[in-house]
A and B are shown apart, each in its own frame.
Chain A
Amino acid sequence: MSFEWPWQYNFPPFFTLQPNVDTRQKQLAAWCSLALSYCRHHKLYTLDIMEVQESPVFNHKNIDRKLSTEAILIVFEELRKKGNLEWLDKNKTQCLVMWRRPEEWGKLIYQWVSRSAMVNSCNTFPPEFHGLEEWMLIRSLQALQTDGKAEVITMDDGKGVKFF
């Protein structure tokens, strides 16, 4: 299924940080939405700022408009505030994108575990979990732990999880 661009993507001013406060709020919300959908669609978890600037999301060649580095950082700050993004370094060159927050993943995992506990067969991960990177998985389990629904156990040869 090909990615569906929102109307704003073809609207040239969308790539200019708006001077009007209310309009800017709408603009940033739309950017956050677009960035997350794009990452979700392409199953992207880590982003490099230099690379991302040139990706079609922020650089729309057809209309000859691109979002400035400054503006991208502002969008990413919004995502960080909402819990969808985490910087990997102080210089803000790389980040983790959580288009599903750890709590949301935790919920999905718990549901899957509850379902598969009912069946005595070998269980493969359903499609939603394909490509789920380990760091994301660990955070999700930690979120479940905070919720009292699971416990991460350190064993001799690694980590295990106990679900309640």
Chain B
Amino acid sequence: MHRRGVGAGAIAKKKLAEAKYKERGTVLAEDQIVQMSKQLETFKSNLEEFASKHKQEIRKSSQFRVQFQEMCATIGVDPLASGKGFWSEMLGVGDFYYELGVQIIEVCLALKHRNGGLITLDELHHRVLKGRGKFAQDVSQDDLVRAIKKLKVMGNGFGMIPVGGSYLVQSVPAELNMDHTVVLQLAEKKGYVSVSEIRESLKWERERACHVLDHLLKEGLAWLDSQASGEPQYWLPALFSELTSRDVTPEEANQITP
């Protein structure tokens, strides 16, 4: 067996073939590149045309935004992914959601002293619309959800807890785990919850239920009502419907600690 011969010869042959392929490959690549450049040019000018046509619509119509976002998702593009480039600079999609994010933060901060940093998506929507005034652009709940997701990514302490078909928006980084979330969902129906209700619905031990409720009290998300008939009730200001429509009075504003 001529091991050295086979080894050396094969390698040399292989190298020659590779070199030839490479040369061909290079030639091919140059062609391709020229073609691709042309395609990119066309693509770019089409995008620019798209942008100029639809920029207004993106700002004005929440329905258009939803469809636009869904389209982007289909082709694997996140128009909110980066602050620079086509999406934000040409289309202004980023701007829209950035500004909305700022508004959301303002609303949450203003109400934090009341609800401990937990607010229903409905109330948030209502107040954001109010803040924008009669002549401002339409904002949908879908818009809010996207803006909040963006805020979450940026690490602003934002989170969304699904409750009763909608969401509770958390704007303060309170430590809420699955147990807490599940109790919040239970409380959503009446705006309050008790130890017995938790034990009955979730089949938990008394201690586990109390632990969760104590935590909600500690985080300022719940208040204790010890005059309820039977056993104490734990109420969440965020879910108190009477509260959600009330503006912050000057007296309240004075009480808000920075």
Q: Is B220 an interface residue (CB 8 A)?
A: yes
A13-B113 in contact (CB<8A): no
Nearest chain B residue, comparing its CB with the CB of A22:
B220
A10-B223 in contact (CB<8A): no
Q: How far is the CB of A137 from chain B (nearest CB, A)?
A: 26
A12-B233 in contact (CB<8A): yes
Which one of A7, A13, A20 contacts B218 once the chains associate, using CB atoms below 8 Å?
A: A20
Number of A-B residue pairs having CB atoms within 8 Å of each other in the complex: 59
Q: Is A161 an interface residue (CB 8 A)?
A: no
Known: A20-B217, A26-B255, A30-B255. A13 touches B224 (CB 8 A): yes
Contact string against B for A residues 41-74, beta-carbon threshold 8 Å, 1 for contact and 0 otherwise? 0000000000000000000000011100000000
Which residues on the B side are within 8 Å of A16 (C-beta)? Answer: 223-227
Which one of B223, B240, B242, B252 contacts A18 once the chains associate, using CB atoms below 8 Å?
A: B223
Interface centre among A6, A11, A22, A30 (most CB of B within 10 A): A11
B255-A18 in contact (CB<8A): no
Q: How far is the CB of A93 from chain B (nearest CB, A)?
A: 24
Known: A11-B240, A15-B227. A26 touches B235 (CB 8 A): no
Q: Is A29 an interface residue (CB 8 A)?
A: yes
Q: How far is the CB of A28 from chain B (nearest CB, A)?
A: 10
Interface size on B, residues (CB 8 A): 23
Which one of B217, B225, B251, B252 contacts A12 once the chains associate, using CB atoms below 8 Å?
A: B225
Which residues on the B side are within 8 Å of A146 (C-beta)? Answer: none
B243-A7 in contact (CB<8A): yes
A7-B227 in contact (CB<8A): no
Q: How far is the CB of A65 from chain B (nearest CB, A)?
A: 5
A160 to B116, CA, bound (A): 53
Which residues on the B side are within 8 Å of A22 (C-beta)? Answer: 220
A64 to B233, CA, bound (A): 14
Which residues on the A side are within 8 Å of B242 (C-beta)? Answer: 7, 10-11
Which residues on the B side are within 8 Å of A14 (C-beta)? Answer: 223
Nearest chain B residue, comparing its CB with the CB of A25:
B257
Residues of chain B having any CB pair with chain A under 8 Å? 113-114, 192, 217-218, 220, 223-228, 233, 235, 237, 240, 242-243, 246, 249, 251-252, 255
Chain A to chain B: the 7 pairs with minimum beta-carbon distance, closest first: A13-B223, A13-B225, A12-B225, A29-B255, A7-B246, A16-B226, A7-B243
Q: List 8 A-B contacts (CB under 8 A).
A: A6-B252, A7-B114, A11-B235, A11-B240, A11-B243, A12-B235, A15-B225, A18-B223
